[in-house]
Amino acid sequence: MSDHAAIQVSGLEKSFGRTRVLDGIDLSVPTGTVFGLLGPNGAGKTTTVRILSTLVRPDAGRVVVAGFDVVRQADRVRGVISLTGQYAGVDERLTGEENMVMMGRLHHLGRAAARRRGAELLERFDLADARGRLVKTYSGGMRRRLDLAVGLISRPPLLFLDEPTTGLDPRSRQTMWEAVQELSKEGVTVFLTTQYLEEADRLADRVAVIDGGSVIAEGTVEELKASVPGASVELRFAGEEDFRRAVDALDRPADSDIADLTVRIPGDGAPAQVKELLDRMDAAGAAVGQLLLRKPTLDDVFLALTGHSTRNEGENG
């Protein structure tokens, strides 16, 4: 096990009845990073988080979180982590402020310290104006932000976020993303599960792609994108005549579409390639209206690796 890893997983297996959910997972999460576990519903993401956060015992393998074994030292693990799941776990019969103070007291903060820390977090998550309202009057996005705030009351060094933005509107999702980025800057290790490709692309330092209970790829977002063919240069022309001149000037355009006057040429968009293409268009008298560089997305990566989208139907897992 690495001394620099906040989470180290080796040979993790888990079955429920005859259904194998995790089939030999290996993961290493460096301290102070955001690690994204990406996959469709039913891939095993939530089960992985539940094992890492001591809620479910593994069938086989070894899991070490913050230096503690999740089976033999579960209490020690629970003392250094926080978990925010897909659904807010706050008490809707209490106000936002009362939820914060209650959780602070459960973490052995004095009443005054719990109030100070709660007020700080409510302000941070744009909930200060609603601190005296019952949580049952909160919107879904407000509840999710309060859930995250409650989980940070004890300043945990390691945070598990299990699909934290599922069902949120774009504004609430943006707020959650900004919160995660701020926590990462403060040195908190964040383990994030998601089926949203944009979320993993924006937040994660490293990503593991999981499908059918197995990790099928791991690396930085850029490394994963670079592993998939499909980069191209897209030229869009001002008129049909320019488009036809461009097609004639190119030996083999990979893809041309007269409907939107666009030609796509395979390539990485390096300066030499772009210059050569523009020189060729200029010589052919084809006026280029717009040039775009297209790189593979995480969706392309997932499709290439699994043959299906991250939005496959299935049971949560």
Residue 105 inside a domain? The answer is no
Rounded to 5°, the CA angle 305-309-312 comes to: 120
Domain that holds residue 249: 232-294
Are 179 and 68 members of one domain?
Answer: yes
Pick from 42-46, 68-72, 250-254, 296-300: least confident: 250-254
Residues constituting the chain = 317
Residue 171 inside a domain? The answer is yes
Put the strands of the sheet holding 5-16 in their side by side order: 19-30, 5-16, 60-65, 68-69
Q: What's the confidence (pLDDT) of residue 64?
A: 97
Residue 64 inside a domain? The answer is yes
Residues whose CB falls within 8 Å of the CB of residue 92, separated by 6 or more in sequence, listed in order: 134, 135, 136, 138, 143
What percent of the chain shows pLDDT beyond 90?
48
In tens, the pLDDT along 133-189 reads 999 999 888 888 898 888 888 889 999 998 888 877 888 888 888 888 988 999 999
Are 221 and 248 members of one domain?
Answer: no
- Contact status, residue 314 vs residue 45, Cβ threshold 8 Å: no
Rounded Cα gap, residues 279 and 150, in angstroms: 59
Out of 177, 208, 226, a domain closes at 226
Are 261 and 218 members of one domain?
Answer: no
Closest C-alpha to 182, from 123, 131, 142: 123
At 32, which CATH number?
A: 3.40.50.300
Rounded Cα gap, residues 265 and 177, in angstroms: 35
Residues whose CB falls within 8 Å of the CB of residue 225, separated by 6 or more in sequence, listed in order: 295, 296, 297, 298, 300, 301
Are 222 and 201 members of one domain?
Answer: yes
Q: Is the pTM of this model over 0.85?
A: no
At 259, which CATH number?
A: 3.30.70
Are 160 and 184 members of one domain?
Answer: yes
Residue 177 inside a domain? The answer is yes
Amino acid at 102: M
